[in-house]
Chains A and B, each alone.
Chain A
Amino acid sequence: MLDLEFMRLAFAAGAIVGVLAPAVGFFLVQREMSLIGDGIGHVAFAGVAAGYLLGISPVWTALAAALIGAGGIEWLRARRQAAGDQALAIVFYTGIAGGVVLISAAGALNANLFSYLFGSILTVTGSDLVVIAVLGIGALVVLAVLMRALIAVSLDEDGARVAGLPVPVLNGVISMLAALTIGVSMRIVGILLIAALMVLPVIAAQRVAWSLRSTIGLSICFGLLSVLVGLTVSYYANLPPGGTIVLAGTAVFLATSTVEALRR
């Protein structure tokens, strides 16, 4: 399997995605915004459609749309114009509706679109890997630098605001990192399933972790494991990798839930 270049590229890109998605997802889960990735993913779908319509790379238009969607959700939340779940719903449905209209207008309802929605192990190129590596590692560095402040906001947002931390900026950073994660992951996992890779490993880790740090560490391990197992199954079973990666994540969740139950 690893004799094939496209599989080596898929595994390299997948490893970055497997680390990045749960690291960002940890903060979404702690803020009870687990579904934000789904909302942004649907906006990214509109971005893919816009790319087809305008004749430019859908990767970049999807990334731009995801960043705009994340900014919109955070803007609605911060100004209390809509509660968190309502802000998500507005962005979610507008994104999917816009995507359907644009993709129909572009006449692009085809197999290539399917690879953006659910991922494909054949589509990662060398230049894709460079972009994924640069953006992914950059996002991880931002997370590492701001870790304590982000944890403080996750634990007690009002307390962090009173203490003088720039809470709207930190919330914006997490939303933007979520959008970035969706942008860099769409070739491997697909924009409709990447949100699951951000959330499932974290929920699984919380079952067996003993601290915040161990939760983050285990989330990353489980994310990586899900991607590696999912890509392998995808290759041998000729299935879209998005589905196999997320089902591998579900299996990890079931395993840690069993461990938790046995401990009681």
Chain B
Amino acid sequence: MPLALELDGVDFAYGQGPAVLTDVDLRVAEGEFVAIAGPNGGGKTTLLRLALGLERPTRGAVLLFGEAARTFGARTKIGYLAQRTKIGVHAPATVREVVEAGRAALRPVGRLRRDDHAAVEEALERVGMHELAGRRLSTLSGGQQQRAFIAKALAAHPSLLVLDEPTTGVDVAAQDALGALLHRLHEELGVTILYVSHEFGAVERFVQRLVLVRERIVFDGPPSQLPGLWHDPSHTHA
């Protein structure tokens, strides 16, 4: 299976600061559903930023679909859900306007065309937000807002879906619904999913691999092989 993401012997530090990541090797095949977890400050967000080509490794190589991540050209192949604190959940936008913004990189100028509208409607359907498409984002629950931004990420038909701390500020029932939604999207679309969070309880049943990061990769395997001590104690399924 071709690789969606490859980190090879990667070290990283911010400026002259201490090492954030040391000797990280990670391969994610196309079509895999992988959770990357670890304590706050353990380096998982840095790993994600390296994977997206937003940071340059101090040592080693990062490849996206076989190309150097920093110069990867086909960026619309990546659907990205940023942390909740960094997205405009309080913007006066409707759900549909948020999802339409997901087509901006493909159609930065000019009117949206028929295929753009079709992609937007399809993305809304897939996350179950079609009925709420005309509602203002700020009037929705945290879980519904997350679904709207997942639809935005899906609107460009990505091959790789990356979610950064998607359960922050979302209640446990909505976290479980989010896990089930990602599982269904993975099954239906065959999209590669990287789920980066300090809590992985919501997707533990669905992911094929769990990668624990604490400066180094300290565990990489199916969740069933994870020592009981390390299971996410913060998550109780609703």
Binding site for B on A (CB under 8 A): 30, 145-146, 148-149, 151-152, 154-165, 205-206, 209-215
Contact = CB atoms under 8 A, between A and B. Distances in A.
A215 B97 CA distance: 12
B100 to A, nearest CB: 7
Contact of B78 (A148, A163, A211): A163
Contacts of A148: 100-101, 103-104, 107-109, 112
A146 B101 CA distance: 12
Interface of B: 52, 54, 73, 75-76, 78, 80-82, 86-88, 91-94, 97-98, 100-105, 107-109, 112, 134, 136, 149, 152-153, 156, 162
A206 B92 CA distance: 6
A155 B88 contact: yes
B147 to A, nearest CB: 15
A162 B80 contact: yes
Nearest to A149: B108
Contact of A156 (B54, B86, B136, B162): B86
A155 B112 CA distance: 18
A148 B156 CA distance: 14
B97 A161 contact: no
Contacts of B105: 149, 152, 160, 163-165
Secondary structure at the B interface, as helix, strand, loop or mixed, is: loop
Nearest to A156: B87
B49 to A, nearest CB: 9
Contact of A158 (B86, B109, B112): B86
A158 B97 contact: no
Nearest to B108: A149
10 contacts: A145-B109, A148-B109, A151-B93, A156-B149, A162-B80, A163-B104, A163-B156, A165-B105, A205-B92, A211-B136
A210 B87 CA distance: 19
Secondary structure at the A interface, as helix, strand, loop or mixed, is: helix
Given A159-B82, A162-B78, A152 B94 contact: no
Nearest to B105: A163
A231 to B, nearest CB: 28
A156 B109 contact: no
A162 B76 CA distance: 8
B104 A160 contact: yes
A164 B54 CA distance: 11
Contacts of A151: 93, 97, 101, 104
B108 A155 contact: no
Given A151-B97, A163-B156, A146 B75 contact: no
Contact of A154 (B91, B102, B108, B156): B91
Contact of B93 (A146, A155, A163, A164): A155
Given A146-B108, A149-B109, A212-B93, A159 B87 contact: yes
Contacts of A205: 92
Nearest to A161: B54
A162 B75 contact: yes
Given A148-B100, A148-B104, A163-B104, A156 B92 contact: no
